[in-house]
Amino acid sequence: MNQTPKQPKTKQFHQLALFGYFGLLLLMPIWLFLVSPREGHSVGFMFVVYILPLLLPLRGILQDKPYTFAWANFVVLIYFIHGFTLLWIATDELLWVILELIFASAMFVGCTYYAKLRGQELGLKIRKLKDDLADEKAAHEPQEK
């Protein structure tokens, strides 16, 4: 368990990320399997495309790993695309689409700033490309005597 306390702002973004994440995790199966099942798509296909991606970061989110919150933003892009597409073509499901976009936006903003702020609190850093290149160049240059 991590002993570094979270600052209030970090806690707020953590809560926002969790609100968005668990909101999507509840919304998508309810919407797609119970409220408005998609004709022509199998349950397995719907699960793999719309539910499974949300399960990928679950363990890291439950373990409160900032890196997981950072890469979970790639997952949430699926729901932005889905939501914005349906916003134009499925006006009869507007409430569900708006909920999806609200949860996806909350998750995106929350994950982005939580990963950044918590990473800073824990002293985690992402190396800059120029540092990696300089190290690689130094490793392959002949040593001077």
pLDDT of residue 129: 66
What's 89's DSSP letter?
A: H
pTM over 0.85: no
Please give the C-alpha separations between residue 45 and each of 49, 53, 95, in angstroms, as whole numbers.
Answer: 6, 12, 24
Tens digit of each residue's pLDDT (9 = 90 or more) over 7-31: 999 999 999 999 999 999 999 999 9
How far apart are the C-alpha atoms of 29 and 12, rounded to whole Å? 27
CA atoms within 13 A on the CB side of 99: 13
| Inter-residue contact 88 to 127 (CB < 8 Å) | no
Tens digit of each residue's pLDDT (9 = 90 or more) over 94-122: 999 999 999 999 999 999 999 999 999 98
| Inter-residue contact 35 to 96 (CB < 8 Å) | yes
